[in-house]
Structure 1
Amino acid sequence: MNLQTLFFLCLLPVSALAQPGVFRVIDISPGVYYLTPGNETPKLLGPGDKLESDCTLLLDEHEKAHLVYKETSLTFTTPGSFRLERYAREAEERTTQRPGLFRQFFQWVYGGVSDADSEKDLERSHEKYITQNKG
């Protein structure tokens, strides 16, 4: 197993958390509901739930919901119904305009690994960019 393969195996669990196209509920007050397409009955939403972008979020007075879509955090505090497609589209536009911190870090590390022809090259790259703390 080479260094590049090991690097990708280490990042596999992190990439599984991203789940593109899915909103993840982070924090929510009781009494927040959602609708799925073709279903007229609202369903109660809970922390850790996942919503597809074609769902509609329903908030009553004094309710709040905190969702994450890709690298975008969304907080809903005003009463009303919110089609998540719109927020997914806006998040996609922001993501394509500027890479996020994790993506920048991944590109930097991957560039160092893929450009290194040998372990010596990789070691020189680490010495160049990673400072050592001396106690």
Structure 2
Amino acid sequence: MNAVYQCMRRNRDRKLFSGWCWYLSRESPDWYDGYHDLNCPDHPFTVDFVRARSRLGWRWRNEDGDSCEINWLDPEPDRICDADTSSTRSLQSIQEEIGFYKGHYHPPTAEEYNRLCDEYSED
């Protein structure tokens, strides 16, 4: 992701990778099937870029929009200099998409996922 980020920074219009979708291959040893019978969110095996304020990051997501935490590529801006409320709202709406996978920066293992689903079904 850092190499892709460097390419995006060099491309002034930042559209070089728009419309691309990266996902974990079904051939990967990290792939597993989810709990489809418990109304549990699907596993987050798709990667997408996130832009909030002047920052760029990436995260793992599932096809329904549930996501893991954001892996930021840019440092956090100075809070005093970046007080734009519309961009703050943008960041808040992005953070609201992190629920089921809160605390996970990468897809949980199959064991962790099953534990999360068990906890989710108990609530």
Task: State whether TM-score is above 0.5.
Answer: no
Q: Which has the higher strand share?
A: 1
Larger helix fraction of residues: 1
RCO comparison, higher one (Cα < 8 Å, 6+): 2
Superposition TM-score, scaled by structure 2 size: 0.27
